Amino acid sequence: MAAYSAPLDDFKFLLHDWLKVTDNYQAMNKGDFDADLVNEIITQGAKFAEEVVAPLNLNGDNQGCRLEDGKVSTPDGFAKAYAEYIENGWNSMLGSEIYGGQELPYSAAIPVHEMLMSANVSWRLICGLTESAVLALEKHGSDELKDAYLPNLISGEWTGTMCLTEPQAGTDLSLLTTKADNNDDGSYNITGTKIFISGGDHEWTDNIIHLVLARLPDAPAGVKGISLFLVPKFMPDGSANDLSVGSIEHKMGLHGCPTCVMNFDGAKGWLVGAPHSGLACMFTMMNDARFQVGLQGVGIGEASYQGALEYAKDRLQSRAPQGIQEPEKKADAIIHLPDVRRMLLTQKSLVEGSRALGLLYAKQMDIARFGTPEEQANAEAIIAFLTPITKSFFTDMGQEVSQHGVQVYGGHGYIQEWGMEQHIRDSRITQLYEGTNGIQALDLISRKLVRDGGKLLSVTNELFAQMVSDIADGSSRDQASGILNDWHATAESLLGTDAVATAAKAYDFMQYSAYSLIAICWLSMADRAQTSGNALAQSKTKVCDFYLKRIFPRASAHKISLALDEHDLMQMTADEF
């Protein structure tokens, strides 16, 4: 099994040569985060991912989680690694300084998150959900709740969850039935069952803080009647709350992360935000979680690529069709085979292109947090538009790249001890949770494009137009401009379509958008690598060439489908299937 090695050179190129994040920090009065400090953060993060978390991955997958006497235990070493994680301050990277956080720029923290995803996504998942819970509480919680819970959540002394899904209510949260009864002392009794709760219980911390969607007795029907409640495992006085783990799920992947059925039996909780505004409050958490899930796709994809590359260089099979490449050996390594190179380059171009778009997104998150009011508004619009793209495309990409990883290994890829088939199993859920990728596609085209009248599209287009204008090479700039203009015109042509037509075009618009925007990122990266004199210049140029010639043409097929009506999809009756 290949040992994970963090792609530090790529992160440094993207942050400093391509995005020039330290210039951005200066403009936002965060100048103390210079290049040296950022490099030290990601270097130490790489060391922790490589040496502490990654070695736990295979055993964690084999051992899984256990539920005994109502208590959940995670695989050996997981809790110890978490204790080291919080001791070294990694959990507090993004938290508000008011409550003990470090308030790092997102662009300095996101590389660490991706590296942890590559090293052991099951382990990282619980930490990521805590960070999302912190965001929701920071934005919507009362001062009393913030003072009582944020310091320990930010430090990592406690972890957090989000409790949305019920057996009958998945995507359609209007169907949820968990109820909240007022105790007339500022607290509520929460009663109901939630399923698919990642990190719902474990032995890592002394307390787990659940953010639970429920209905007040006077709640209107539908999603407008949902409220959000903070429900701790243990009460402020140390007594156990009235909640329990009904079971843990036996899953295809992510064996090291406990996915729990949580029973709330009149558990005491406190309202977060205004009554009946729970969905809006939860979306603060969910949107962050959706981007983090996208990073899971990138992280798993990187790990799969690294494993495939190492094996391709070592595995000897026959002679290369272009002639003997390694005469001192009995056969040539399979990396000399054109089809193996096709798979490796597909992996590399998709992972590195997605990483670039993800860090561009992180830069916008910095602006949304630290910029001027006008800059914040623009950044928030871009984030809103790109969130479904990063969640959906990155996770589709992670699954595709993992499939290639197994294929490079041949029969050995199908065997558990090599670690490659685990990437397929672990990445499969990323296309499902935090909103299936079909739902993400529908959100992009219906809410972020059509319903918004193209406003978010316009702001996002301006961001990429600036990127295009910064390309020094004239032919590359013209090519990038053509891609951007075509994407923008195609997107505008979809405005005004009816609901059925919009839904029918959702998947193709998502894919077309992602391939197009990543193509622009590749042209920009290749150009910047050349002008900066970075050691990665030759690699970036050649991988860009591969992406444009062999991956980007996929966008044309999706564009053709966008021009079709929905008739062929809808003409059959249900009985004819």
Handedness of CA 371, 395, 388, 548 (dihedral sign): positive
**Contact (CB, 8 A) for 511 and 564:** no
Bridge partners of residue 159, in order along the sequence: 208
Reported as half-sphere exposure (CB side, CA atoms, 13 A), residue 556 has a value of 6
What is the Cα–Cα distance from 220 to 493, expressed in whole angstroms?
37
Contact 79, 204 (CB under 8 A): yes
**Parallel, antiparallel or unpaired: strands 159-163 and 208-214:** parallel
Question: CB of 39 within 8 A of CB of 105?
Answer: no
525 bridge partner residues: none
φ/ψ of residue 186, rounded to 5: 95, -5
Q: Are the CB atoms for 191 and 212 separated by under 8 Å?
A: no
**Active-site residue among 114, 131, 380, 434?**
434
Residue 205 structure tokens: 């911390």
Contact 189, 183 (CB under 8 A): yes
CA triplet 456, 355, 162: central angle to 5 degrees?
70
CA separation for the pair 112, 90 (Å, rounded)? 9
| DSSP character at residue 174 | G
Q: Which two tokens stand for residue 9?
A: 């050179």
Specify whether 157 is catalytic. no
Determine how many CB atoms are found less than 10 A away from the CB of residue 172: 10
**Tokens standing for 464?**
């990429």
Half-sphere exposure of 376 (CA within 13 A, CB side): 7
Q: Of the candidates 161, 325, 311, 134, which has an alpha carbon nearest to the alpha carbon of residue 231? A: 161
Angstrom CA distances, 147 to 91, 100, 143, 232, 273, stand at 18, 11, 6, 14, 15
Q: Which amino acid is at 449?
A: L
Please identify every residue annotated as catalytic: 434
